[in-house]
Amino acid sequence: MRKTTALRQLVTRPSLDFLMEAHNGLSARIVEEAGFPGVWASGLTLSASFGVRDNNELSWSQVVDHVAFMADATSVPVLLDGDTGYGNFNNMRRLVRKLERVDVGGVVIEDKLFPKTNSFIRSERQPLADVDEFVGKIKAGKDSQTDPDFVLIARVEALIAGWGLAEALRRAEAYHLAGADAILIHSRQSSPAEIFAFLDAWGGRAPVALVPTKYWRTPTADFRARGVSVVIWANHLLRAGITSMQATAKRIAADESLLNVEPHVAPLHEVFRLQGDAELEDAERRYLPARASLSAVVLAAGAGNDFGGLTERAPKAMLKVQGTPILARLLEDFGSAGARDVVVVRGHRAEAIDVPGARFVDNADFATTGEAWSLGLAEDALVPGTLVAFGDIVLKRYIVQALLDDAGPGITLAVDSTLASADVPDRVRADRADTGRFSFDEVRLAAIGDEVTPSASHGAWIGLLHVGADGAAWLREATAAARADGTLRSARLVDLLARVRAAHPVRVVWIRGGWVNVNNLTDLVDASDL
């Protein structure tokens, strides 16, 4: 059902219905969720939400743009408080066409002069429009609509201005004959007596809408008994919001803290829900290219002994390179590649490792265990799309991206081919050497660790790898096997990789320099130069 049709049915059916005020998309959605069948886009509260007076200081084009967001935010119809139509009959024609385009269900226009003043401010001094001129405006609006169900309601201000019941009835009849779909009769009295007198005299000639802001004590049963079609609660969400915002602002200013406020305000996830984040998340799954999530496990339990006393109070992973700790720099590199969930395994001086954006697992036996044991403590974090790294490497950021670009579903190692034939730790032999030429064929690991002699090596593993969906399971299997045969406590990470390679293919990605494994003061200087 079109929103215009839903609003027309709401206005014309014999039962009483209610509209609730909203002043932006968020409050409109709250109104719908509360169960109201329609939204009243109040001129007063729209103006107030912009911090201006309800005197047409907000232009009609600004109003249309703003109410468009309200219509987009809801599936129920929006009825706009259109003031006087923002000008003469020509402005009215443009207004109706624009409102139809932004899916607003209808508009209320009042028979005062442009620019108008709010009905509850100096009402006795407010001039009313000429009846014939206002009738022409109604006809212009009805002739301009392309949707036959678009609703135009004429608001009679005669009682507000003190012109009496007879004038209110005369105007209402003229507006009804001009084609208005309903009459909104307004009053500033705290008693509904003059409204009830109007209703009795009107005799149900056309649907009637009321705004009982001043006569709010009137029982709803009295409106229903007199055949009122629509009651509009016209400004109460804004007023409730003002009270709450004033109290919250004063409390925070006085306390200089959020402690007494945070438990009493809506949680952020409720804001995101009202904004429709779930729909966007669903759309992202349907329309964005699939990207595997990325996480990281960093092994930083070691002490480091060749730093001239620098690691007595902090592990080497916290030594600074150009003013930034090695570990913090590594996490920034991973973060730039999209890794948001990072687990750091701490050991020596664990309390000194405190970097933002990481969760921590502590290896209390760091002095008597190796890298494989530390990894085993964090094996729950070995999920598809995990980077595993030593916590003492400094590298150029492109190396991380190069590894990710070539990573497969298994395990992929970053290997420095410039260290081929060098007597260095973690030597690697692949199924073929790095020729410097591009090939579509992947390079596979043939052997790793001490079983590879320097002369037979094709490079050195730099302490960085990626595990995909299969690789995560393979590495957990190798960890479990080493734990079962009692070798896990003393094993290095290359020992686990050798176990994996014996059963599964492991991919090698060649790099050429651009990294330093910081094992001593010389390495620390080299890392700064890098």
Tell me, what's the pLDDT at 460? 95
> Taking 90 as the threshold, does the pLDDT of residue 66 lie above it?
yes
Q: Which pLDDT score, from 0 to 100, does residue 124 have?
A: 66
Pairing mode, if any, of strands 39-41 and 78-81?
Answer: parallel
Return the pLDDT at 122.
66
Domains of the chain: 3-235 (3.20.20.60), 244-287 (no CATH), 294-529 (3.90.550.10)
First-to-last alpha carbon distance for the chain, in angstroms, is 66
Most confident of 16-20, 315-319, 403-407: 16-20
- d(C-alpha 184, C-alpha 71), whole Å: 22
User: For 460-469, what is each residue's pLDDT tens digit?
Assistant: 999 999 999 8
- The helix/strand/coil state of 443 is strand
pLDDT tier for residue 170 given thresholds of 50, 70 and 90: very high
List, for residues 431-451, the tens digit of each pLDDT value: 999 988 877 789 999 999 999
Q: What is the 3-state secondary structure (H, E, C) of 446-496?
A: EEECCCCCHHHCCEEEEEEEEECHHHHHHHHHHHHHHHHCCCCCCCCHHHH
List 17, 54, 83, 495, catalytic entry: 54
> According to the model, what pLDDT value does residue 306 have?
67
- Concatenated DSSP letters for 359-399? EEEE-TTTTT--HHHHHHHTGGG--SSEEEEETTEEE-HHH
What gap in Å lies between CA 170 and CA 386, rounded to an integer?
Answer: 77
| φ/ψ of residue 494, rounded to 5 | -65, -25
| 35 — pLDDT class (breaks 50, 70, 90) | very high
* pLDDT computed for residue 241 by the predictor: 96
Residue 506 pLDDT: 95
Strands in 115-214 per DSSP E: 151-156, 182-185, 208-210
**Residue 292 pLDDT:** 66
- Cβ-count burial of 59 within 10 angstroms (0-12 exposed, 13-18 middle, 19+ buried)? exposed
- Closest-CA residue to 510 (of 439, 449, 450, 459): 459
Residue 319: is it exposed, middle or buried by C-beta count within 10 angstroms (0-12/13-18/19+)? Answer: buried
86 token code pair: 């923002």
Tell me whether the omega of the peptide bond preceding residue 115 falls within 30 degrees of 0, making it cis. yes
Residue type, 212: P
Structure tokens at 510: 């060649």
Active site (annotated) includes residue 54: yes
Cα gap 18→11, rounded to integer Å = 10
Query: Helix, strand or coil for residue 325?
Result: strand
- Distance, CA of 499 to CA of 372 (rounded, Å): 12
pLDDT on residue 309: 66
For residue 97, pLDDT over 80 is answered with yes
> Residue 311 pLDDT > 80, yes or no?
no
Tokens 């060749």, residue located: 306
Report the alpha-carbon distance of residue 89 to residue 107 in Å, rounded: 14
pTM of full prediction above 0.75 = no
Q: Indicate the pLDDT class of residue 179, thresholds 50, 70 and 90.
A: very high
pLDDT exceeding 90 applies to what percent of the chain?
76
- pLDDT single digits (tens) 250-261: 999 999 999 999
Asked if residues 72 and 25 have their Cβ atoms less than 8 Å apart, the reply is yes
518, 319 contact by CB (below 8 A) = yes
From 242, 243, 253, 248, select the one nearest 265 (Cα to Cα). 248
Query: What is the dihedral angle through the alpha carbons of 323, 325, 329, 334, rounded to the nearest 10 degrees?
Result: -160
What pLDDT shows up at residue 519? 82
Looking at residue 119, what is its pLDDT? 78
What's residue 461's pLDDT?
95
Joined tokens for residue 165:
């019941």
**Rounded mean pLDDT of 16-28?**
97
3-state secondary structure 33-58: HCCCCCEEECHHHHHHHCCCCCCCCC
Residue 356 has pLDDT above 80, yes or no: yes
Report CA Rg, the chain. Answer: 36
Which residue type, as a one-letter code, is found at position 61?
S
Question: Which has more confidence, 56 or 378?
Answer: 378
Report which of residues 454 and 127 the model is more confident about: 454
pLDDT value for 290? 66
Judging by beta carbons within 10 Å of its beta carbon (0-12, 13-18, 19+), is residue 519 exposed, middle or buried? middle
Tokens at 149, concatenated: 């169900």
Mean pLDDT of the chain: 92
